[in-house]
Structures are given as structure tokens and as C-alpha cells.
Amino acid sequence: MPNAAKPEFPQIRPRRLRRTAALRRLVAETRVHPSDLVLPVFVKEGLREPVAIRSMPGVHQHSVDSVRKLAVEAARAGIGGLMPFGIPAVRDAEGSGATDPDGILNVTMRAIREEVHDDLVVIPDLCLDEFTDHGHCGVLRPDGTVDNDATLVRYAEMGRCLAEAGADLLGASGMMDGQIGYVRAHLDANGHQDTGLLAYAAKYASAFYGPFRDAVESQLQGDRRTYQQDSPNATEALLEIDLDIEQGADIVMVKPALPYLDIVRAAAERSPVPVAAYHISGEYAQLMAAAEKGWIDKDAAILESLTSIKRAGARIIATYAALDAVRLLR
């Protein structure tokens, strides 16, 4: 009889499970599903047709009519939700348009709800920065600093208006101390116990927000470092997350996503509520710009980016690439 073959090194060969695309799909540990994705959308008062945003290829400022069509497309694609941001024609120091029932964000909310009913989760932005003539996320004191507690009153009023317009969740993005507890109490006192709060719990003062500010025609002079999270700090971010959960947040979010995957992972390991991450405008714009130059494969880069965010622990991902991703996932 021939001699039995001797085992040769290596006996354990992980590459066996990478041999074909079908094998790789079978053993994939992390999967992005269309329902994990939320599409941020910009709606500008007075527009008749969508207008391309120069710094965000493929993304537009929408009219109320065109966002209706986009909402239908998103619902048919099976994505999880829409996150509308309003761009008013007139701004003032108090951000009055945010609490005007006929203001652009409230009108947009009602239009989306009328168009898709409950087929999408709608998460309007609960913040004043798009509505103020100074571009800050709150009202200012005479010395130009943001008045935290006076801002909470405005957030509560804005939240009530958006709840009345049909919001499922409010995207509390202002990073004011106590905002979740204050808004939650006001919603409950006004009969909106079922309106949830998605807390931008760890929102960092990031260099990657530039294209977003272009999209909303931000009036900001200076920066928001006195209230947004400082990028060197992780323990402080976890404190912010814990506080928002204690105050009643239904979902907590980390923003941006890719530069802060360590925070996403830490949040996922400690949070009893779902963790979201925002793949923000600057992250998206980098991919699009490099793809336009032929430096990267756009489709592969989108899926790799979103998969890494999901792998870090985010159950929900806000991304401008949501519809592209659904096409690729299918």
C-alpha cells in the first residue's frame, strides 16, 4: 500500500472560505441592509426644481414637490428613513422659521408624511442653525455666546411643531446640555408621548462638515467648539451618551462616523438603546471626489465604508449614499 500522505503545514487554511464570492457571502459576519440606512435630504424654501450641491456630487437641494418624489423612491427602495433639513428664505436671530407651522421644515414634514404615510421613518433635524442669521445652533447672549438654557426653550417649541407635523423621531443635533430631558418633558406634556428622540449624543466639532454647510447655505461665522464635542476626548463622549440615555433618548448617534469608529464601538458596548452613526457630508464628498478623479472605485468604497460603520456597532447609518448603497446591495 502506498504510504499515507503526511500532513503538511498549514493544516488550517482560512482562505478556503474566501475562494469564491458565494463562499464569502455565506460566511460574512457583517451585513448592511437597506432598512439600516437613513437618507438626509435638503429642502429649500422657494425652489421649483432640484439644485445640485457643488461640494456633494449627486446630492441636491430639493423643492417640496421634488422631495415628495424622493420620499416615494426611498420607500420603494426599502431604506429605513429620511432625515429632512430645511433651508428657509428668511433667517433671524431667534430662528423663528423653525417654529412657524408654515415654515419650510414643517411644510416638508407634512408633505413627506402625506406622500409615504408610515412607509418611512421621518427624522427631521431639531436644531436652529439652518434658521438663524448667525448660523449657531442656539440663541445668543449679548456677548455672542450661545445661551444654553434659553436655547432649550426654543428646541422644545420646535420639537412640538415637528411632532404635530408628523415626525416619528426628532434628530436632536444641537449639543446643548439637558436638551433631551427638556424636549422629552415638553413633548410629553403636550400629548406627544409617541414621538421619539434620536440624540446626536456624541457630535464632534469636525473639519468634515464643510459640504453640509454649503448645502444648507450656513450663515456661521467662527465655530461651534464651545458646545460640540472636542475631538481628542472619548471619555467625555461616553458621558454625553450616558446622559442622553438617562434623559430619555430612544436612539443615540455618533457624528461623524468613520473618524470616530472607536466611539461607535464604545457606545454599542454600553448602550441599552440602538446606536446610530452619521456618515457625514465631508466623508461622502471625499469618496465622490476621489471617484471622479478615477483614484478609487466609488461603488466598492461606499460599501466598504458603510460595512465598517456597521461592523463597529452602528445599527442605523445616516448616509447621503443610501440610494446608491441599496442599488449595490441588490
Q: What's the mean pLDDT in 174-203?
A: 98
Cβ neighbours of residue 240 closer than 8 Å, sequence gap 6 or more:
175, 201, 202, 229
pLDDT of residue 190: 98
Q: Domain locations in the chain?
A: 31-329
Q: How many CB atoms lie within 10 A of CB 119?
A: 13
Q: Which of 256, 310, 261 is nearest to 283 (CA)?
A: 256
Other beta carbons within 10 Å of 149: 12
pLDDT digits (tens, 9 = 90+) for 100-140: 999 999 999 999 999 999 999 999 999 999 999 999 999 99
The average confidence (pLDDT) of the chain is: 96
Catalytic residue among 6, 44, 69, 255: 255
Q: What is the pLDDT of residues 146-187, one digit of tens each?
A: 999 999 999 999 999 999 999 999 999 999 999 999 999 999
Query: In this structure, which topology does domain 31-329 adopt according to CATH?
Result: TIM Barrel (3.20.20)
Percent of the chain with pLDDT over 70: 98
Active site residue 203: yes
Of these residues, 6, 44, 69, 203, which one is catalytic?
Answer: 203
C-beta of residue 178 within 8 angstroms of C-beta of residue 207 = no
Residue 5 is predicted with a pLDDT of 65
pLDDT at 2: 57
Q: What pLDDT score was predicted for residue 4?
A: 64
Residues in the chain: 330
User: In the predicted model, is pLDDT for residue 330 greater than 80?
Assistant: yes
DSSP letters of 40-83? EEEEETT-SS-EE-TTSTT-EEE-HHHHHHHHHHHHHHT-SEEE
Residues 43-79: b if buried by 16+ CB within 10 A, e if exposed: bbbebeebeebebbbebbbbbbebbbebbeebbebeb
Average pLDDT over residues 90-106: 97
The residue-averaged pLDDT of 26-48 equals: 97
Lowest average pLDDT, out of 8-17, 61-70, 299-308, goes to: 8-17
Number of C-beta neighbours around residue 115 at 10 A: 16
Greater model confidence, 1 or 283: 283
Over residues 232-284, the pLDDT tens digits come to: 999 999 999 999 999 999 999 999 999 999 999 999 999 999 999 999 999 99
What is the pLDDT averaged over residues 25-47? 97
In this prediction, residue 11 carries a pLDDT of 85
Asked if the model's pLDDT at residue 15 lies above 60, the reply is yes
pLDDT of amino acid 221? 86
| Residue 245, SS3 per DSSP | helix
For residues 186-195, average pLDDT: 98
Rounded to two decimals, the pTM is 0.95
